[in-house]
Structure 1
Amino acid sequence: MKRRIIYGLLLVLTFILFYSLLSEDILMSASGFMAFLGGVLCAVFLIQFVADYRDFDEVKELQTLQHKLGLVCIPSVIVFIIVLNVHYSGLEDKIILKYGKRVEGIIKNGRSTSGGTESNSYITVAYTTPKGNDVEKKFRITSEQFDAAKKDMPVEVLHCTKYPSATQILIGDDVIERFTGMKNRVLSLSDLTAMLDMKADSLQRYANTVSYRWIRIDNYPYFLVNGSEDLTLEFAPGETIIYTMRNSKYYEPLLEEMKKEGFKPVGDKKEGVYSKGNIGVKISYGSYDIKSNGTYNVGDASIKMPAFQGVSQIMTFYKL
């Protein structure tokens, strides 16, 4: 009985040690090995707690029920390893949140392969670390993230100088919410009409509380680009908001909102002009042919955007 108590205590202490007490440095350098080692030790102590084998002859002969139950506990090694691995992967997220610094990056290329029910997607991102080192890093991402990624798209990277292997690219709604706490959504009709009364700085801050992430072009302060969502905002503070959408999934909900809010056509419906109270909306279409280098000019600014060719929906909001 005394031996079993000792093995039981060793089981509890070993699990606590490997689950909670290992240092960040050890886990970041050898998390897989530590999960394996901790899983094996926990399983050994569990087997001994149940069976209390004294020598190898008892393992071979299995004369008692408790010796037979010991063999049943052998698969527990897999359970312990999985539990520790899952825990360590969650710990990496905490380390990124604790030490990660946001830096600007550009998607250079990507590839996705699928076989059977599995798919493997990767993108390569170029960025400069907080210490000024130029890096090109390959990230393994989900298929949803891969669908949202485009060549030459600007992205943010959470880079850990202390643990360079713990790096995260901010792309995809789930990842953005996990690492920024922000629930991503598209701009609504009420958002766009409210922007008419905002100053330039306030407008950008507000847009970035709604959807991730709006970037101001240095040489053209009244133009915001949301490259990850194929959206742009051009504005004259207090006068007009021009919202350009390169995907109908953003445009159609706004049309539905306008109907619900009671916006009525002004003059010939074909002209695409609507109003309600002191707010007017002009709906139009524009053709874009953005080359593969992902740049085009707005005023004196050269703006990086993913390559695109087609028709965009444009809504111009203004005060009457």
Structure 2
Amino acid sequence: MTTPLRRTRSSRIAAAVVLGVLAASCSGDNDTTATADEAATTTDAASPDRPTTTAVDSVADAGAAVPSAGCGTGGHPALTAEKVTMEVADEERYYLLTVPEGTDEAPAPVVFDFHGLMEGAELAAKASRLPELGVEEGFITVVPNGRGNPVSWDVTPDPATNPDMAFVAEVLDTLEAEQCVDTSRVYATGLSNGAMMTSGVACAFPDRVAAVAPVAGVMASCEDTDRPVPMLGFHGTADPILFFNGGVGDLGGLIAGTADASKVPEADLEGAGYPAAVAEWAVRNGCEDSFTDEQVEDDVTRRTYECP
């Protein structure tokens, strides 16, 4: 396994977007909160509460693990999709926790996997298979469950006013106290509405999250923070749900199986929507405003922003 990027205040930052037409690169749920313009409005209006941990301030070597308080206490058995419940903002919440073998010996990285609209934690865990990969590769996987009917995420990056962000903070606190976690290697990913939640988490917790990888739902950049958060963003140009250049498809038709895929607008790689959202993240992270595109497959383009 390649040594992953760790979180430090002086990290060299890179932002990239993969623009693909493969079905796997498209959003897989019916997300009505998904236009880039709406995301930008929501994010720019927020005033994130940014909790910090002493572990971040003590990092001297980007290659060194930063063990959490739960390390050295023993008794960290392997778990597979263990349902963990907690009360947050007077509401019962839960997440699925998978812990690989060997976390007593060394602090483990953590990967959050945020589900899409109407999906829920159980379906997301089966679809992404991240818990299985975590067992193989030695990282802890957390698959949180959202709120409401249909189940979804409030992506506003303010833990003080947003119960979903408060939930993430509580899960992080619990993991660091009860598991042996490398606090410099906490990551987040998610699909569609979960991708927007991933972007929001990067805004809300820049000192607790090392990097993020939203799939089909990169939100426009948030307010400046003390630390840039590296991002690898994915979006399919033929996505029929969240259009590549902004807008939402025929949600009702998609649910009923009657949607006309030919109505997906032609994608503009230099246009508005998700290309513009990623460009905003690059600026926020201190990257150059220019980029390079590489055709890595016939239907996959990798766009990279170089950073100091």
Q: Same fold (TM over 0.5)?
A: no
Bigger proportion of residues as helix: 1
Higher relative contact order (CA closer than 8 Å, sequence separation 6+): 2
Tell which structure's C-alpha radius of gyration is larger: 1
Structure 1 or 2: more strand by fraction: 1
